Structure 1
Amino acid sequence: MRKGTFMELCDLLSPALRRMNTKMRAALTVEKQVAIALWKLAMLDSYPSVGNQFRVGKSTVGAAVMQVANATKDLLISRVVTLGNVQVIVDGFAAMRFPNCGGAIDGTHIPILAPEHQAGEYINRKGYFSIVLQALVDHKGRFTNINVGWPGKVHDARTFRNSGLFQKLQEGTLFPDQKITIGDAEMPIVILGDPAYLLMPWLMKLYTGTLDSNQELFNYRLSKCRMVVKCAFGC
Structure 2
Amino acid sequence: DGFAAMGFPNCGGAIDGTHIPVLGPAHQGSQYINRKGYFSMVLQALVDHKGRFTNINVGWPGKVHDARVFRNSGLFRRLQEGIYFPDQKITVGDVEMPIVILGDPAYPLMPWLMKPYTGALDTEKELFNYQLSKCRMVVECAFGR
Instruction: Determine which structure has the larger helix proportion and give its number.
Output: 1
2:36 is matched with 126
Aligned equivalent of 1:173: 83
Question: In the alignment, does 2:60 pair up with 1:150?
Answer: yes
| Secondary structure in 2 matching 1:232 | helix
Partner of residue 101, structure 1:
11
Q: What TM-score results when the alignment is normalised by the length of structure 1? A: 0.59
1:231 maps to which of 133, 136, 141: 141
Of 175, 196, 208, which residue of structure 1 is paired with 2:106?
A: 196
- Give the percent of matched residue pairs that are identical in Structure 1 and Structure 2: 83
Deviation at 1:176, TM superposition (A): 2.8
5+ residue gaps, structure 1, are 1-90
Q: CA deviation at 1:95?
A: 1.4
1:218 corresponding residue in structure 2: 128
1:117 corresponds to: 27
Q: Secondary structure at the match of 2:125?
A: helix
User: C-alpha root-mean-square deviation of aligned residues, in Å?
Assistant: 1.5
Offset at residue 184 of structure 1 (A)? 8.6
Question: What is the TM-score when the length of structure 2 is the normalising length?
Answer: 0.95
SS in 1 for 2:57: strand
Mapped partners of 1:163, 1:203: distance in 2: 14
- 1:207 alignment partner AA: Y
Offset, 1:225: 0.3
Aligned partner of 1:15 in structure 2 is none
Cα contact 1:187–1:201 (8 A) shared by 2: no
Deviation at 1:186, TM superposition (A): 4.4
- Gaps spanning 5+ residues in structure 2: where? none
CA separation of 1:223 and 1:102: change in aligned 2, threshold 3 A: same
Where 2:18 maps in the other structure, the secondary structure is strand
Count, aligned residues: 145
1:209, 1:183 → 2: CA distance? 30
Per-residue CA distance 1:116-163 (angstroms, 9 max, x = gap):
000000000000000000000000101000000000000000000111
Structure whose residues are more often strand by fraction: 2
Instruction: Tell me: higher relative CO, structure 1 or 2? Use CA pairs within 8 A at least 6 residues apart.
Output: 2
Look up the match of 1:161. Answer: 71
